[in-house]
Structure 1
Amino acid sequence: MPSDTPTNLYDLTRPALGALLSDWGYRPHHRDVLWSGLYRQQARALDEVEGLRADLREALRERARLGQLTTHHEAFSSDGHTHKLLMKLEDGQTIETVLMRFKGRATVCISTQAGCAMGCVFCATGQMGLSRHLTPGEIVGQILHVQRILRESGETLRNVVLMGMGEPLHNYDNTLAAVDVLVDPLGLAMAPRFITLSTVGVVPGIRRLADEDRPVQLAVSLHGATDAERAALVPAGRRWPLAELMDACRYYIARRKRRIFFEWTLIEGRNDTVEHAHTLGALLGDMDAHVNVIPLNLTVGYDGGPSRPESVRTFQDVLMSHGVPSTVRQRRGIDIDAGCGQLKSAVERRSRRSLPTSP
């Protein structure tokens, strides 16, 4: 965005907003009134913020803005539990946000980048490459958008997973600034234990999370328990080999006294055999770890298929023999391209097909 673009207020943490208003000559009380308007009242426009001084409202109109995300495309699963949104950003980029309803709770999966540079071969987002990082306000904006949807039906949002498009630790500062807004007790006041950050294994970011004690649950996408097998699925594995990644994970557990969740996408015949399970169990057996096993979501650019149910059960049994607990993550929205990057790819394919051909 151009440097003279008015400040998006959603890009600012509460301290940063206070510093901005202080530079303009306003006291902390005015920051708190505005902050409450943004996140407690969830005003859609500056004119809707209650209790704001007239001169401050005018200054904000001149120097700031409320950056809004709009729905470009949406899809609903046949069971009514999954709602996928393709959101349009101010520069025309699109990102995905997925709302999932479970019994007694709602979960949203949000994006942290437009595209992704990690290149995981089975992931539609990884296949499209990275366009740019999202700003904190674009990350927070997805939460605000979903909360408005839920409010219409009397529901509330409980869980946030930073597991949509992009690698959160590749966009560390913006992602964690957004998390600061989510957990701010005067902001959205979300419980940190219900916020999960998923990384492909960016070692410097994991160590930084450990040192800073950021209030999130950590999930690491593993998918292979040897360097060769992992690198074939997750190219980032060539940059951060398993020995280095496991050292960072043990450092995180020791520093934070928190369990790490490891994600394992089960692909028939490629990483779902008894031998694969034993190798993974041996790798994680001495750690405070839990494995989320996820049967593959099919994508156009990858020829693998999901594991059969009996293979999933056997895989879990072998992990438990190593003392490693696991859970099969419930698959949602298969009928609406709910996997990361799939809806954007499908919409773009349809758009290309609809373009007029040259004479």
Structure 2
Amino acid sequence: MLKTKLYGLFAEEIAGALHPFGFEKYRASQVADWIYRRGIIQFEAMTNLSKQQREILAEHFAIDEPRVVEKQQSSDKRTEKFLFALADGATIETVLMRQPYGNSVCISTQVGCAMGCVFCASTLNGIIRDLDCGEMLAQIAYINKLLAIEGQKVDSVVIMGMGEPLANYEQVVRFIRLCRQPYCYEMSYRSFTLSTSGIVPGILKLAAEELPVTLAVSLHAPNDLLRSQLMPINRQYPIASVLQAADYYAQQTGRRVTYEYILIAGMNDSKENAVELAKLLHGRLAHVNLIPINPVPEKGLARPDAKTIAQFEAILRQKQISVTLRREMGTEIQAACGQLRRRVPGRL
């Protein structure tokens, strides 16, 4: 018998699923509280339900938790990477980053990625499928259980692991809305950062959702010729259209847009590139996040030297562009930006 999956359902949807079995409506909130806020996935442990109700849940419903097949920790113990196996055997990677301001989790939204960015490992083996809301939520739930042992919790979520979030739009938006519920994690909009390669229709649609999360646009080049070489999606959505959509998002939400810029030696790290980038973003509600490229063996790309990186950052500052240099976390365990991939245990 095919069981109904509860993970990823809102309380009102759980109520609808339980109604045919004679459950009172308020029981749905109790079940939601158990599986989301308390992180309990064993029906027999839901002690405010009757024994009969728990038996019905066990017979007709399921709570799928991903299986951890591999876990790595950085030498400073501030970054942990998890290789999860999903119910169908597909694998994804999720990263916990212990920041000074709290615990941040980088989640995946797809098994693999179809974007084809030349600097990223996630796209190496293409895309298998989208994740559903429950599979995204389960990544947070598992790490929350680990942190609870230390009296901590997940404080923020960066939606920039494997996959293009706006290519899985409905499930990603559902995930954010569910995380905000009082019976779930009750997280604020400011707790979420959503990264996109620049799917213009998705950015415009998100602007109308009244979900003022932080939008991070993967720019990585100051002109279309170079960006198309680095990111094939630019041929469909060139820079001007991406910036126009991002400006609209900033206008609708009042939130500053972050532009991610991976620095690659000899490709996009020159003084001229910095000046061109500053001109592109001048006058916009924008912030630049500079990211020296993280090593991906198959790509053969190198990060610039420290002097070049500092020079690039200095030019942006001189041009009055808000900029930060991303603090490196997780590179040694292939857990940093651009290093997550679909793989099997024991293999890179």
| Letter in structure 2 aligned against 1:267 | I
User: Per the alignment, in what secondary structure is the counterpart of residue 17 of structure 1?
Assistant: helix
After superposition, give the CA deviation of every residue in 1:234-278 in whole Å (9 maximum; x if it has no partner). Answer: 111111111111111111111111111111111111111111111
1:99·1:107 contact (CA, 8 Å) conserved in 2? yes
**Residue 141 (structure 2) pairs with residue 144 (structure 1):** yes
Q: Tell me which of 274, 289, 294 is aligned to 2:291.
A: 294
Q: Does the alignment pair 1:135 with 2:100?
A: no
Give the match's secondary structure for 2:329: coil
Q: In the aligned structure 1, how far is the partner of 2:72 from the partner of 2:239?
A: 38
Q: TM-score, normalised by structure 1?
A: 0.92
Q: What is the CA-CA distance between 1:347 and the residue it aligns to?
A: 4.7
1:97 maps to 2:113: no
Moved over 6 A (4+): none
Looking at structure 1, the residues matched to 347 and 38 of structure 2 have their Cα atoms a distance apart, in angstroms, of 38
2:151 aligned partner, one-letter code: G
SS at match of 1:303: coil
The aligned residue for residue 274 of structure 2 is: 277
Instruction: Give the match's secondary structure for 2:301.
Output: coil
The offset of 1:30, in angstroms, is 1.1
CA offset at residue 321 of structure 1?
A: 2.9
CA 1:190–1:77 in structure 2 vs 1: closer, same or farther (change >3 Å)? Answer: same
Q: How does 1:7-156 map to 2 (within 5 A)?
A: 7-22=4-19, 24-156=21-153
Distance across 2 between alignment mates of 1:330 and 1:23: 52
What per-residue deviation string (whole Å, max 9, x for no partner) do you get for residues 98-154 of structure 1?
A: 111123521111101110011111100012210110111110000011111111223
Identity %: 38
Tell me if structure 2 keeps the 8 A contact 1:10–1:66.
Answer: yes
Amino acid at match of 2:162: M
Tell whether the 8 Å contact from 2:79 to 2:329 is kept in structure 1 after alignment. yes
Match of 1:357 in 2: none
User: What amino acid does structure 2 have at the position aligned with 1:45?
Assistant: Q
Structure 2 stretches lacking a partner, 5+ long: none
Displacement after TM superposition at 1:342 (Å): 4.0
Amino acid of the residue matched to residue 140 of structure 1? L
The alpha-carbon deviation at position 348 of structure 1 amounts to: 6.1
Structure 1 residue runs without a partner (length 5+): 352-359
Take 1:118 and 1:51, find their aligned partners in 2: how far apart are those partners? 47
In structure 1, the partner of 2:155 is 158
Asked if 1 retains the 8 angstrom alpha-carbon contact of 2:161 and 2:340, the reply is no
2-structure distance, mates of 1:75, 1:26: 43
Contact 2:264 2:302 (8 Å CA) reproduced: yes
Within 5 Å, give how 1:129-278 maps onto structure 2. 129-278=126-275
Q: Give the superposition deviation at 1:323.
A: 2.3
- Distance (Å, rounded) in 2 between the aligned partners of 1:67 and 1:36: 16
In the other structure, the counterpart of 1:325 is: 322
Aligned partner letter, 1:86: L
Relative to total residues, which structure has the larger helix share, 1 or 2?
Answer: 1
Give the Å deviation of 1:341.
6.8
Q: What's the TM-score once normalised by structure 2's chain length?
A: 0.94
- 1:354 paired residue number: none
Code of the residue aligned with 2:295 in structure 1: it is L
* Contact 1:292/1:327, CA 8 A, preserved across alignment: yes
Find the residue that maps to 2:275 and give its secondary structure: helix
Paired residue type of 1:248: A
Shift of the alpha carbon at 1:300? 1.8
Contact 1:13 1:180 in 2 (8 A): no
SS of 1:73 mapped into structure 2: strand
For the residues of structure 2 that align with 1:162 and 1:305, how far apart are their CA atoms? 25
Q: Is the 8 A contact 1:72 1:88 kept in 2?
A: yes
Task: Classify the secondary structure of the residue corresponding to 1:126.
Answer: coil
Give the match for residue 309 of structure 1.
306
Letter in 2 for 1:145: Y
